[in-house]
Amino acid sequence: MSAETDATAAGGLAGEMEVEAYRRLFPLAFLERHLRESVRPDARRLAEARPTTVALGAVSSAHGSALVRLGDTAMLASIKLEVMSPSAETPDQGSVAVEFHMPPICSPLVRPGRPAEAAPVISKALEDVLMSSGMLNLKELCLISGKASWVAYLDVYCLNADGSLFDAALISVVAAFTHLEIPLVSVGDDGRVFTVGGNEGKTKYELVNREKRKLTLGDIPFPLTCALHKDSILADPTAEEESIIETSVTVVLDSSGRLVSIQKPGGGVTSMATIKACIGLAKERGQKLKEILTDSVEAMEVDQAE
């Protein structure tokens, strides 16, 4: 009996090694073999996104932060506020500076000393969505019109890159702004505006804003990237799927269901029917992400109450 068991185990191991070898040598054929069965290599359905978690307040030294996991993709977003003089064009508004970082630890494809090509592209895409979605009212970042306003330095760090990087980054940005708390500030005798910390500061200085507060967020943008291969639409592709499939579409809808943006970086010609199908999947995904974000806020409030 022992010999039979050993033989079965050896056969199973050999089978697994053959499958893995086939996967590495013929990645497209391996993927298509799964797609014919309407399933993906990680056992998901074609339209199924990976499990998503949001943890607010991941960085204690930041004014707002969030850690997001989208499958094995992990993003950390942090917001640091600084008082600056507003521009002459927008004296009653603050500003947001966005930077997306891909350190070498996030992927073997990112080499030390060489900036990742995707980083500036994702930075610009995040900034465009933030400004066009209407989620932020920059006037809420104004302290004293024409004299002082907040600059929100938004840094997003990719901790592990396993596909759908823009999706995970935007979710982490939205969560970080949800967590953001505007600190107390005062004006010194020299006219300089500075932040005030602790209960002692409240009594020692005359405050511009009496209480710490949250930003009033407008409609929140939620993303979904779809990889397109022949007649198949793969929601939330992994890095492996992205390396095989050349065509993808990223749809961003706000929490009211309005279209914020559609990005299609290269690839083949895509039909309008396929675009509409991607938008439909994005609507479903947006509802789920809204629930996840709401749950994370409620969990944080419970923790603070305790």
- Residue 138 falls within a domain, yes or no? yes
- Of 104, 95, 101, nearest to 76 (Cα)? 101
Q: Token pair 């907040």 is at which residue?
A: 150
pLDDT at 193 over 90: no
How many CB atoms are closer than 10 A to CB 298?
10
Residue 4: its pLDDT value, please?
47
305: its two tokens: 């109450």
Give the pLDDT band (50/70/90) at residue 306: low
| 140 Cβ contact partners less than 8 Å away, ≥ 6 residues apart | 94, 215, 216
pLDDT at 9 over 50: no
pLDDT at 138 over 90: yes
CA–CA separation, 265 and 254 (whole Å): 21
Residues in the chain, total: 306
Give the pLDDT band (50/70/90) at residue 21: confident
SS3 label, residue 159:
strand
Give the pLDDT band (50/70/90) at residue 196: low
- Residue 12 falls within a domain, yes or no? no
Mean pLDDT throughout 224-249? 95
Least confidently predicted of 11-15, 238-242, 268-272: 11-15
- Residue 247 falls within a domain, yes or no? yes
Higher pLDDT, residue 131 or 188: 131
H/E stretch holding 277: helix 272-305
- Residue 295 falls within a domain, yes or no? yes
- Residue 238 falls within a domain, yes or no? yes
SS3 label, residue 196:
strand
Q: What is the pLDDT of residues 41-60, one digit of tens each?
A: 999 999 999 999 999 999 99
Tally of structural domains, the chain: 1
* Domain hosting residue 60, numbered range: 44-196+203-305
Residue 267: its pLDDT value, please?
77
- Residue 25 falls within a domain, yes or no? no
Q: Round the average pLDDT of the chain to a whole number and report it.
A: 87
H/E stretch holding 250: strand 247-254
Q: Token pair 């030294």 is at which residue?
A: 61
Q: What is the pLDDT of residues 274-300, one digit of tens each?
A: 999 999 999 999 999 999 999 999 988
DSSP state of 111: P
SS3 for 35-94 is HCCCCCCCCCCCCCCCCEEEEECCCCCCCEEEEEEECCEEEEEEEEEEEECCCCCCCCCC
- Of 262, 252, 290, nearest to 133 (Cα)? 252
Q: Token pair 């932020």 is at which residue?
A: 136
- Residue 32 falls within a domain, yes or no? no
Q: Is the pTM of this model over 0.85?
A: yes
- Of 77, 289, 53, 102, nearest to 173 (Cα)? 77
Residue 99: its pLDDT value, please?
97
- Residue 5 falls within a domain, yes or no? no
Give the pLDDT band (50/70/90) at residue 71: very high
Give the pLDDT band (50/70/90) at residue 94: very high
Q: What is the pLDDT of residues 95-121, one digit of tens each?
A: 999 999 999 999 998 988 888 889 999
CA distances from 171 to 39, 52, 74, 86, 168 (A): 26, 10, 11, 28, 5
CA–CA separation, 234 and 278 (whole Å): 9
pLDDT at 221 over 80: yes
Give the gyration radius of the chain's Cα atoms: 23
Residue 197: its pLDDT value, please?
62
Q: What is the pLDDT of residues 204-214, one digit of tens each?
A: 555 555 566 78
CATH code, 224: 3.30.230.70
